[in-house]
Amino acid sequence: MVKMYLVIKLRSFFVLSGVFTLNILFYGCNDNGSTNLAVHYSPTPYSYDVPTHFPQMILPVSNSPTFEGVALGRKLYYDSILHPWNLKSCSSCHFQEFGFSTPGVNVLPHVNLAYNSKFLWNGRISNSLEDAMRFEVREFFGTDVSKLQNSAVYPSLFFKAFGSSYINHERIEMALAQFLRSIVSGNSKFDRFLRHEENLSLSEMMGFTIFNSEKGDCFHCHSLPLMTDGQLHNIGLDSVFVGSDLGFFLSSGNPADKGKFKTPSLRNVLTRSSFMHDGRFSTIDEVINHYNNDVKLSNSLDPIMTKPGKEFGLGLTPFEIHNLKAFLNTLTDTTIFTNPLFGKP
């Protein structure tokens, strides 16, 4: 028996090669105040399902994912207990069936957020997903931790994820970040094309050429394969900026940041019906028309928008626009809309 146990431990040590196999023994108090003998804390390491053609996912050392942490984050995401008056959960606006967004509204979808270091349309939150969650939980929701601490289920779930049933904002944010990182989209037709698993049609291929060359110049900011560079740019939607249209300027105070917004990923873009930070466009044709011949000049305009030869817009013909849209359609990956692992637990 003892030998077998050792073999299993050794095997799992090599397989999991993490500190988690050193199952830590805890001697703590349970809810009745009596002493628990050796409660087992042994979370299972989780590895994110990163497609082979994606960049490496850099994870914060202080928040290594575990099955228990991801599961807890998922439960919290769908639970209105995070809201002080139980009025809404994250999923009240970020609907899985709409790519974790709301149709017709400028709710930023959750897709491949693990790769982001700037958050919200105007980029006012930076660094890690944990920092974004700090904003969502503490400022946006104003979560009352005592509600979770006093609930029947959460203390034991936090114990399973973090080794003690103590609940604070930071642990809520860590669990949510672990869950959001698991929402990886890498199975669109275009992803399969990049992995040499599927061909694009002639029209899609011609659209890709426009997207990925100086002709359309889209790739500079909507970079492959995530379809975003994660940076902030002013793409010339306005020439005079007021209120929320000031973008990152509201955080930095630097005039060069006026009108700068986060480049949204174009994954699933044709499943949406509201485009840009303020939802000013409701069709993809309006968006393409903007790039084609409606870019407005200002001092903070991104130089890419007015490169030599583009002074009068991109000059795309209706046929080229048709092909560009055919290409954008290959970025649709509905697997994340239906994957039961991301749904309400």
Alpha-carbon gap, residue 149 to 257, rounded angstroms? 42
263 contributes a contact to ligand HEC by CB under 6 A:
yes
Closer of 21 and 262 to ligand HEC (Cβ): 262
108 contributes a contact to ligand HEC by CB under 6 A:
yes
Q: Pick the stretch among 36-44, 61-69, 196-204, 299-307 that binds ligand HEC (CB under 6 A).
A: 299-307
Distances 299 to 135, 229, 238, 255, 260 between C-alpha atoms, Å: 31, 22, 11, 8, 11
- Which position among 74, 134, 192, 277 is part of the footprint of ligand HEC (CB under 6 A)? 277
Closer of 21 and 266 to ligand HEC (Cβ): 266
The 8 Å CB, 24+ separation contacts for 274-279 are: 274/103, 274/104, 274/105, 274/106, 276/106, 276/237, 277/106, 277/121, 277/122, 277/244, 277/245, 277/247, 278/106, 278/244, 278/245, 279/104, 279/105, 279/106
Binding mask 38-67 for ligand HEC (x = CB under 6 A): ------------------------------
Q: Pick the stretch among 43-51, 144-152, 198-206, 257-265 that binds ligand HEC (CB under 6 A).
A: 257-265
Q: Which of 240, 276, 337 is nearest to 104 (CA)?
A: 276
Q: Name 51's Cβ contacts closer than 8 Å, sequence gap at least 6.
A: 184, 186, 187, 191, 195, 225
Q: Name 192's Cβ contacts closer than 8 Å, sequence gap at least 6.
A: 198
220 contributes a contact to ligand HEC by CB under 6 A:
yes
Closer of 136 and 191 to ligand HEC (Cβ): 136
301 contributes a contact to ligand HEC by CB under 6 A:
no
Closer of 21 and 245 to ligand HEC (Cβ): 245
- Which position among 70, 71, 72, 82 is part of the footprint of ligand HEC (CB under 6 A)? 82
217 contributes a contact to ligand HEC by CB under 6 A:
yes
b/e code 111-142 from CB counts within 10 Å (16+ = b): bbbbbbebbbbbbebeebbbebbbebbeeebe
Closer of 192 and 295 to ligand HEC (Cβ): 295
174 contributes a contact to ligand HEC by CB under 6 A:
no
What does the binding site for ligand HEC look like in residue numbers (CB under 6 A)? 82, 88, 90, 92-94, 106-108, 113, 116, 119-121, 132-133, 136-137, 141, 176, 216-218, 220-222, 233, 235, 237, 261, 263-264, 266, 269, 272, 275-277, 287, 291, 302, 304-305
